[in-house]
Amino acid sequence: MTLDIRWPIGLLFSIVGLMLSLYGIFTRASTELYERSLGININFWWGTILVVFGVCMLIPAWRDSKKKT
Amino acid sequence: MHLIGLGWMDYTIMALYVAFVLGIGQALRKYMKSSNDFFLSGRSIPTWVTGLAFISANLGALELVGMAASGAKYGIATAHFYWVGAIPAMVFLAVFMMPFYYGSKARSVPEYLKLRFDERVRCLNSISFAVMTVFASGISMNALAKLLNQLLGWNYDVSLWICSGVVLLYVMKGGLTSAIYTEVLQFFMIVLGFAPVVYLGLRDVGGWGALKANLAQVAQHPATLALNDKAFQADAWTSAWKPLFGGAASNPMGVDIFAMVFGLGFVLSFGYWCTNFLVVQRAMAAKNMSAARRTPLIGAIPKMLLPVLVILPGMIAASLALTEKGGYRLPPVLVKDSAAMVAVGIVKSSPADAPAAVEAVTKAVGLKMNAAKVSAILAAKAGLTDDQIKARLQDAVAENDYDGVILSLVKKYCPTGLLGLALTALLASFMSGMAGNVTAFNTVWTYDLYQAYFVKNKGDSHYLMMGKCITVVGILLSIACAYFARNYSNAMDVIQLVFGFVNAPLFATFLMGMFWARATGTGAFLGLLGGMTTSALFHACTLATGNVPGIKGGYLAVVRFFPSEMAQNFWLASFAFAACLFLTVSISLVTRRTKTDGELEGLVYSMTPTKVEEDKVWIMRPAVLGSILLAGCVILNIIFF
């Protein structure tokens, strides 16, 4: 067979999401930064959503790889 | 547009994406053992992947940038490209045409034509497709390099060559599978990268209701935003059908309903989605026949919802520009440095109150200018430095750079972090556009040109090697086309024109080939040629009002004026389709068939026994799924009527 695409997708978005949400937490006091996004700490919230998405990709991929072995 | 400042976070996200994409290519290397693996992914890709890749191959620079541009210029009517154009075509492909593409075991669309007709038709199609796909790739890369230059200040040439280099690396290593995987990755990046921008924009504008109210004002006075010289009724930007019924003069696109439904909806859309190897190749990479048929249908589901992501930003931008929320205005076309220098010179040397001075300055800049602002510059010139004059001249430009709309929204709403994500999504879509086109190009070259005419009987590893080499050539040609494409601003209109020349007659050929056994090779060949010639002639003899004869048409004589370029394109397509259909039918009737009934089995509707549907679950049957999708489209059309 070939590389299961859910691995790179899941990994990329989990990593990026994690980075964004951590960055969001570290910069949460910066009103100037989030003035653009209407005062919402979009890095944190969207980063979290990305992590959820990434995990949703990784879980079935992990389960399928277990099934094969 | 001023430079945007990126933080380390943004660069990290971009670098991460590039690393992943190269890593995918590397990981796939060991699976590329045969030319079948390289060009067709060994026909082993899961259906959800081929489905997403199918629409993602098309979701390159042109879609994102062009759709937002059109959203600002024309409003929700742009959705016709999706709801009248793409979806019905995709359903038709899945239900009626895929059995012939997949079942004939053809390795490419031109190869199908060879099996069905003869070598001449295949040759014509493969050459024209090869040229067209390389052009599309070039336009994509040009937009990317321009963007990186304008936004980040990166050197145009460096960006172009480096991004092309990245694409080259992962396509050479992983072939079509690499391209497909990165296309799916790109799809998610685009959705997840732009959804927050759309969310923030919609929230900032005040929701759909406020958006509609603002756009009603825009529709009645589009000239205030330099969108259009005419005025329209209030729902012109938010109603997809009603303005069409009033005829070409009552909608900003300048098209009448026939041109829209037949020209765009039938001829151009079916011509693209049903015959363009770029997208069909992804369906051909599916595991089996039902997977191949389901591929376009699965792709159609997100495709139906894409207008929210790609067209809505344009409309939001128009609304923001009207209210000048936060000082926002539609991005103006950039003044070229050479023109700016000349203009600054004229400003300094003209007497402040000469009316001819305003005209002279405007002529030097070469764009439409706001006369009042130019006069103000002339009046104040004594106290201004050269740079200040230049900046004020730029500010006085009254022509919009529509391709810059989506970026201007990204700049407006994205703090660093999210900014990196959105820019990486754009980067991904541009690179993916090039990868998709290059993989289609190298397949058609290797199988339909090289193997068919030059070197016929070598072993498979020879063709695999050729495939890899031609990938390099394809990238170089794309780069050449990118430099050529630098001269056009709204990429969408130009692409529709090129596709019109080649595609419109093509669909007539396939339609006859797949559904009329009497169609002969000679008929198809001459019909195609005739259709393309008709396209060229039509373009040479018609012009959109307000355009100068030349590259926009009308250079032989102007037999007919059209209210807009889009109308000209749609009518061109209709005429070319009709010409090809007529020629194919009439010439086929007077020429002899070269293929026996037996040879046509699996290639023509009447010669192929209808298979019993192998799917046990009724909802997954292509016809059922297709009908549901069409119903969904009708509902969407009604909602935005």
Q: Do B181 and A5 touch (CB under 8 A)?
A: yes
| Phi and psi torsions of A53, nearest 5° | -60, -45
Cβ atoms B369, B357 nearer than 8 A: no
Question: How far is residue B250's CA from residue B75's CA, in Å, rounded to a whole number?
Answer: 13
Query: How far is A3 from chain B, CA to nearest CA, in Å?
Result: 7
- Provide the pLDDT for residue B388: 84
Question: Checking DSSP bridges between strand B560-562 and strand B542-544, what pairing results, if any?
Answer: parallel
Q: Using a CB–CB cutoff of 8 Å, tell me whether A40 touches chain B.
A: yes
**Domain B8-325+405-489+616-639: CATH architecture, name and number where available:** Up-down Bundle (1.20)
Of A1, A8, A46, the CB nearest to B185: A8
Which residue has 């960055």 as its token pair?
A23
State the pLDDT at residue A1.
55
- Quick check: A20 and B44 CB within 8 A? no
Tell me if chain B has a CB within 8 Å of the CB of A20: yes
C-alpha angle B610-B613-B614 in degrees, rounded to nearest 5: 125
Q: Does B418 touch chain A (CB under 8 A)?
A: yes
Six token digits for residue B129: 């497709």
- Residue A69: pLDDT band with limits 50, 70, 90: low
**Which whole-number Å values give the CA distances from B177 to B27, B597, B635, in the listed order?**
11, 36, 36
* Rounded Cα gap, residues B521 and B593, in angstroms: 8
Contacts of A12 in chain B (CB under 8 A): 16-17, 20, 185
Q: Which residues pair with B286 in a beta bridge?
A: B45
ipTM of the complex, rounded to two decimals: 0.94
d(CA A43, CA B408): 19
What SS3 class is residue B246?
coil
* Distance between CA atoms of residues B296 and B47, nearest Å: 10
According to the model, what pLDDT value does residue A59 have? 93
Q: What is the 3-state secondary structure (H, E, C) of chain A?
A: CCCCCHHHHHHHHHHHHHHHHHHHHHCCCCHHHHCCCCCCCHHHHHHHHHHHHHHHHHHHHHHHHHHHC
d(CA A19, CA B421): 11
Check CB contact under 8 Å for B184 and A15: no
User: Which SS3 state, helix, strand or coil, does residue B95 take?
Assistant: helix
CA distance A17 to chain B (A): 10
Token couple for B135: 């052009």
Nearest Cα neighbor of B303 from B571, B54, B65, B619 is B54
CB contact under 8 A, B417 and A36: no
B61 or A63, greater pLDDT: A63
- CB-based contact B185 A15, cutoff 8 Å: no
Q: In this complex, do B181 and A27 lie within 8 Å of one another by their Cβ atoms?
A: no
Q: What DSSP assignment string belongs to B100-113?
A: HHHHTT-SSHHHHH
Q: Which of B49, B188, B417 sits opposite A20 (nearest CB)?
A: B417
Distance CA B357, CA B254 (A): 34
Buried b / exposed e along B306-326 (16+ C-beta atoms within 10 A): bbebbbbbbbbbbbbbbeeee
Closest chain A residue to B33, measured at CA? A2
DSSP B166-203: HHHHHHHHHHHHHHHHHHHHHHHHHHHHHHHHHHHHHH
Provide the token pair at A33: 């930064």
Amino acid symbol at B640: F
Alpha-carbon gap, residue B327 to B408, rounded angstroms: 12
Tell me the average pLDDT across A21-45. Answer: 86
pLDDT digits (tens, 9 = 90+) for B439-452: 999 999 988 888 88
In angstroms, the CA B321 to CA B538 distance is 37
B24/A42 touch (CB, cutoff 8 Å), yes or no:
no
Collapsed DSSP state (helix, strand, coil) of residue B370: coil
CA distance B17 to A12: 7
Cα–chain-centroid distance for residue B313? 17
* B417 with A12: Cβ contact below 8 A: no
Residue (of A58, A51, A56, A53) closest to A16 by Cα position: A51
> Which of A8, A37, A53 lies nearest to residue B415, judging by beta carbons?
A37
Chains A, B: CB contacts under 8 A, how many?
84
Q: At B45, phi and psi to the nearest 5?
A: -90, 140
Q: Which residues of B touch A37 (CB under 8 A)?
A: 196, 200, 413-415, 418
pTM of the full predicted structure? 0.87
pLDDT at residue B93 in the model = 93
Q: In chain A, where are the structural domains located?
A: 6-68
Token readout for B308 is 């929210």
pLDDT score of B487: 62
Segments in chain B below pLDDT 70? 1-3, 61, 352-353, 487-500, 551, 610-616
Place of tokens 């890749």: B53
pLDDT of residue A51: 95
Residue B607: what pLDDT?
A: 78
pLDDT number for residue B496 = 54
C-beta of residue B482 within 8 angstroms of C-beta of residue B145: yes
**Alpha-helical segments (H) within B371-490:** 371-380, 386-395, 405-413, 418-443, 460-485
H helical segments located in B47-155: 47-56, 61-74, 80, 87-92, 98-103, 109-116, 119-152
List, as ranges, residues 184-213 from B with C-beta within 8 Å of A.
184-185, 188, 192, 196, 200, 203-204
Mutation target vs B (from A1, A21, A37, A49; most B CBs, 10 A cutoff): A37
What's the confidence (pLDDT) of residue B1? 46
Q: Hey, which bits of B487-586 come out as E strands? A: 542-544, 560-562
The residue to which tokens 């004020």 are assigned: B392
CA pair distance B5, B15, nearest whole angstrom: 16
The whole-number pLDDT of residue B365 equals: 81
Task: Supply the pLDDT for residue B492.
Answer: 47
Question: What are the extents of the domains in chain B?
Answer: 8-325+405-489+616-639, 337-399
Q: Is B311 helix (H, G, I), strand (E, B) or coil?
A: coil
Contact state of B20 with A8 under an 8 Å Cβ cutoff: yes
Cβ neighbours of B414 in A, within 8 Å: 36-37, 42
**Residue B333 DSSP symbol:** P
Tell me if chain A has a CB within 8 Å of the CB of B340: no
User: Best mutation site among A1, A4, A5 for testing chain B: the one with the most B CBs within 10 Å?
Assistant: A5
CB B401 within 8 A of CB B491: no
- Report yes or no: B21 and B182 within 8 Å, Cβ to Cβ: yes
- What would the two tokens of residue B72 be? 């600002």
